[in-house]
Amino acid sequence: MRSDKIKTGLDKAPSRSLLRATGLSDEDFVKPFIGIANSWNDIVPGHVHLDRIADAVREGIEEAGGVAFTFGVPGVCDGVAMGHQGMRYSLVSRETIADCCEVMVQSHSLDGWVGVTNCDKITPGMLMAAGRLDVPAAMVTGGPMEAGKLEGVPADLQTVFEALGQYRAGKLDESAVHRAECAACPGEGSCSGLFTANTMACLTEVMGLSLEGCGTMMANDPRKLELARETGRRMVELAKKGVTPRTIVDAASIRNAVRVDMAIGGSTNTALHIPAIAREFGVDMNLDLFDSISREIPHITSLRPGGPYHMRDLEEAGGIPAVLNRLLPHLEDAPTVSGPSLREIASRSSVKDHEVLRPLDRPYHEEGGIAVLKGNLAPEGSVVKQSAVSDSMLRFTGKAKVYDSEREAMESIMGGEVEEGMVLVIRYEGPKGAPGMPEMLSPTSLIAGMGLSEGVALITDGRFSGATRGGSIGHVCPEAYDMGPIAALRDGDVITIDIPARRLEVDLSAEEISARLYDVKPIDKAPRGVLRKYRQLVQSASKGAYLD
């Protein structure tokens, strides 16, 4: 066992002595040492219950004859961090989380580890660590929260953000916004729509690194603790057999994850996370894989932010096993930590609600949830959640209104300067330019709440929240800080968005773009601390914004 490095032989007496101080005795030194990477905190609603889940994992490890060690991992709540300096740290935290897991697992020669996780960057960070370390590992995702109720209608965090836009437009008063605020997030769990957190939980299950049913099982479901215990027991078995993440996840697993992502209409943030995870597993992929699979796999469920349903509805329709059953003709077989292969799970599963989870020949959209747009404005690509775009916005031409930060855009929107027919351009918010590539749910939600989502588009070298809907195109690459064409744009330039044709163009010649860029001096926001280090290492969003 790996842990023999710290517990076996006379020369390990000093480390055994220290371990005895934690409560270990002679009989423990022949058992597998299993870590629990616990991202519990009492700031993030998706994490406030993870201590109970971690305790259940510990019980399972000990029942199976292992020794459990728990260590902490940070977590950022994107909703709380939204719209201020804190959001610049969100994507950065993905790398920090992967590093934390690496440091603890390697320093203490653990035989295996379980990631107790939830929310947007924590799950991807742990998956990256799993591929990088290739030490036996499994994940327990904490589950979605229930949708709230506002005057008898389901509500979620998106409801609150859009209520602010309605307030700005004079459609709601302050008390109505307060009622939405109090109703939308009723308790523990990740936000109740198919935003980034729940998308990544679903894809973790597809990649075979969490137990069957984990991805959509609600945070308040009593079965969650038993699933956590079973994960602990299973982890000891995997550690004894030497079953590592790279024996489970390969190129086929990654392709299957993208297929499910397209079918359920997941967050555009997967276009950052899946390539970064794939890289740590030694799998080479780029944005083109998303687009090619999107043309093959239809969008078969319609969850928030683009549709009427929430995660509870998908869970009751059969969860990810039911999605796999729908996609069975398209799936490649792959192993899972559950034991049965992915196609075995798909074959024995069934769909319980044929409207929430439609058949392939009766989809909500003929193509998958994400489209990759290229053109003279995005030579390396850009990303849009096309399943959350209305038919009227699939093709859109408008005049640019250019901002050099999200703050400038917000002031302009709230000041009533935005009109139908505009394409709002928010630049210098990419991985290097921000730095940190902050999510921007506030501008998109204000526009939606103000009733302008059918007549105003947004493009950015930053990114949008998984809760964003409408004509919002993010991840424009190269970014402005790297002198991409977006840095050359000026107010009044005519921009054309054609999602079916996968084009993002500005009506400027290559010569004009080059001439303008010659005169551009990139805005340097002079970051300090971790953001400064991040800028020096981060790669393009088209590559997953990984560090190199």
The residues with which 446 forms a beta bridge, in sequence order, are none
Distance in angstroms (rounded) separating the CA atoms of residues 396 and 56: 51
Distance in angstroms (rounded) separating the CA atoms of residues 317 and 311: 10
Nearest to 263 by CA among 289, 301, 225, 290: 301
End-to-end CA distance of the chain: 31
Distance in angstroms (rounded) separating the CA atoms of residues 514 and 519: 9
H helix and E strand count, the chain: 21, 14
How would you classify the pairing of strands 422-426 and 395-403?
A: parallel
**Alpha-carbon dihedral 326, 332, 337, 341, rounded to 10 degrees:** 80
Distance in angstroms (rounded) separating the CA atoms of residues 142 and 214: 8
Are the C-beta atoms of residues 430 and 480 closer than 8 Å to each other? yes
Mapped onto helix, strand or coil, the DSSP state of residue 226 is helix
The string of DSSP codes covering 439-498 is B-HHHHHHHHHTT-TTT-EEEESSB--TT--SSEEEEEES-GGGT-GGGG--TT-EEEEE
The alpha-carbon radius of gyration of the chain (Å, integer) is 23
User: What value, to the nearest 5°, has the Cα angle with vertex 227 and ends 78 and 241?
Assistant: 105
Distance in angstroms (rounded) separating the CA atoms of residues 483 and 518: 9
Are the C-beta atoms of residues 298 and 326 closer than 8 Å to each other? no
Tokens representing residue 172 in the block? 């709601």
Whether 465 is catalytic = yes
Name the one residue in this structure whose structure tokens are 């209409």.
265
Catalytic choice (387, 465, 472, 540): 465
How would you classify the pairing of strands 472-477 and 457-460?
A: parallel
Query: Which residues are identified as catalytic?
Result: 465
